[in-house]
Amino acid sequence: MTDWQTKKLGDIGVFTKGAGIPKDSAQSGELPAVRYGELYTSFDVFVKNTKSHIDQETASASVKIKKGDILFAGSGETIDEIGKSAVYQLDSEGYAGGDIVILRPDASQDSSFLGYALNSEMARRELRKIGQGQSVVHVYRKDLETLSLALPE
Alpha-carbon distance of 17 to 4, in angstroms, equals 29
Task: Output the average pLDDT for the chain.
Answer: 92
Per-residue pLDDT tens over the stretch 51-79 = 999 999 999 999 999 999 999 998 888 77
Alpha-carbon distance of 89 to 112, in angstroms, equals 9
Q: Which residues of the chain have pLDDT under 50?
A: none
- pTM of structure: 0.92
Give residue 1's pLDDT.
Answer: 60
Give residue 88's pLDDT.
Answer: 98
